[in-house]
Amino acid sequence: MDVVVLSGKGGTGKTTIATNLSKILGYAYVDCDVEEPNGYIFLKPKISEEKEVKLWNPTMNNNCLLCGRCVTACEYNALVKVLDKIMIFEELCHGCGACQLACDNEAIEGFDRTIGILKKNHEFAMGQLNLREPMGGPIISVLKKETNHFEHRILDAPPGTSCSVVKAVQGSDYAILVTEPTAFGLHDLKLAIQLIQDMKIPFGVIINRYESHTLIDDYLNDMNIPCIGRVPFSREAAVQYSKGDLLIESEKYHQVFEAIGHQVRRLL
Amino acid sequence: MKVIISSQGHHEDDLVDVRFGRCAYFAVWDSNTNTFEFIENKGKSSDHGAGLAAAQQVIDLNGDALLSERLGPKAFRVLDQSGIHLYKCHGMTLRDAVERLKTHDLEMIKEAYR
């Protein structure tokens, strides 16, 4: 069973929800926010396995006749034909291999380029993209495949609604959309809802930093979307977070997350 | 001589587009006929690598010079090696740009815009 936690807007508390909930439910935690994974700060796992994640990139050999078929085939504009050579822009290459298929002269070879690292143990996994690398998708795919044997997973998605979020969300059984009671929070929540509805995944919303009735409540009521939890705003939570402690270490928040966990179990 | 210009529109009195990779059109001026032809920029609709798609299009047009304002690092790397002369224009119409090129009144682009 996979539960993905996403948000649209960054900084709403995805990781806070995902880490605490993984403990409450006893699910494995998988950090798909490979550009800035931070779940490990709160869960403090002992890593037992590390491996490099590689992406195939093309190289040209001497067979190249400069026909330019590979350039046309590349959906990502990673290849450019200039005078007497094909220039390759690795940072744009998605490693799909279309250039190699398009080439009639076996002029395209390739090599596997390390783009990041994967760390895991029996109940925790995270991907980490190397500096300067622009594309998290391939790491997320490997990360999900390598943790496929975990019976239950909480997938902590990257912020936004981009390709890497889609990669993290794909195939999940349930989605938790985390938001905050601000106009920005609502704006980006709407985008995330659109994405998750397009992907036809059942979902519920958690309002983080909750004080009293908010604009998010109004919206969810109007749209008939279930709110599966409200995490109260408090100085205490901020202090716990700043120390890298899980919120469930406090009695009050333990109860909040127990209730959310109960809801999630009921919905799965 | 064939001159390519990043353009905001498709008339000779439209302005040179500051952006290269995502400019609306490429104007192609032919010195023999003194006329402009307009081509849509393929890079404009690219999700990724708009500058490179545009650069490839410019190279394939086989021009002698490119007039634009800002070239990104990837587009510059490609165009710098393509043998096309790169000239900088700022806030002028296509017709003005060509006139200034004729009188050697344009600065060359020697590095990528940052």
> In the prediction, which pLDDT does A83 show?
86
CB contact under 8 A, B56 and A92: no
Structure tokens at A209: 């930093």
pLDDT digits (tens, 9 = 90+) for B2-38: 999 999 999 999 999 999 999 999 999 999 999 999 9
Q: Taking residues A22-31, report their average pLDDT.
A: 98
As a whole number of angstroms, the distance between CA A112 and CA A193 comes to 36
Query: What is the pLDDT of chain A when averaged over all its residues?
Result: 96
pLDDT tens-digit series, residues A172-218? 999 999 999 999 999 999 999 999 999 999 999 999 999 999 999 99
For testing the chain B interface, which of A69, A74, A82, A89 should be mutated: the one with the most B CBs within 10 Å? A82
Query: Residue B46: pLDDT above 90?
Result: no
The pLDDT value given to residue A202? 97
- E strands, A189-226, in order: 203-210
Give the ipTM of the model, two decimals please.
0.86
Q: Is the pLDDT of residue A25 over 90?
A: yes
The answer to whether residues A32 and A140 touch, using CB atoms and an 8 Å cutoff, is yes
pLDDT in tens, B67-106: 999 999 999 999 999 999 999 999 999 999 999 999 999 9
Which chain A positions have a beta carbon within 8 Å of B83's beta carbon?
83
Q: Tell if the CB–CB gap between A77 and B53 is shorter than 8 Å.
A: yes
Tokens linked to A223:
């749209």
Residue A106 has pLDDT above 90, yes or no: yes
Write out pLDDT tens, residues A59-79: 999 999 999 999 999 999 999
- CB-count burial class (<10 Å; 0-12, 13-18, 19+) for A250: middle
Partners of residue B76 in chain A, C-beta under 8 Å: none
Of A226, A228, A184, the closest CA to residue A206 belongs to A228
C-alpha–C-alpha distance, residues B82 and B63, integer Å = 10
Q: Tell me if A87 and B77 make a contact (CB, 8 A cut-off).
A: yes
Closest CA to B17 of B62, B54, B49, B46: B54
Q: Do B48 and A77 touch (CB under 8 A)?
A: yes
Q: Which of A76, A82, A89 is opposite residue B82, by nearest beta carbon? A: A82
Average confidence (pLDDT) over A242-259: 96
Q: Which residues pair with A210 in a beta bridge?
A: A232
> Which chain A residues contact residue B22 at CB under 8 A?
none
Q: What integer pLDDT is reported at residue A122 of this predicted model?
A: 96
Q: What is the pLDDT of residue B55?
A: 96
Residue A88: its chain B contacts at CB < 8 A? none
Residues from chain B that touch A92, judged by Cβ atoms under 8 A, are: 48-49, 52
Among chain B residues, the shortest Cα distance to A86 is held by B78
pLDDT tens digits along A113-166 = 999 999 999 999 999 999 988 889 999 999 999 999 999 999 999 999 999 999
Choose among B6, B20, B28: nearest CA to B70: B20
Cβ distance B7 to B14 under 8 Å?
yes
Tens of pLDDT along A29-47?
Answer: 999 999 999 999 999 999 9
Among B43, B48, B78, whose Cβ lies nearest the Cβ of A82? B78
**Amino acid A84: pLDDT:** 86
Q: Between B46, B47, B52, which is nearest A89 by CB?
A: B52
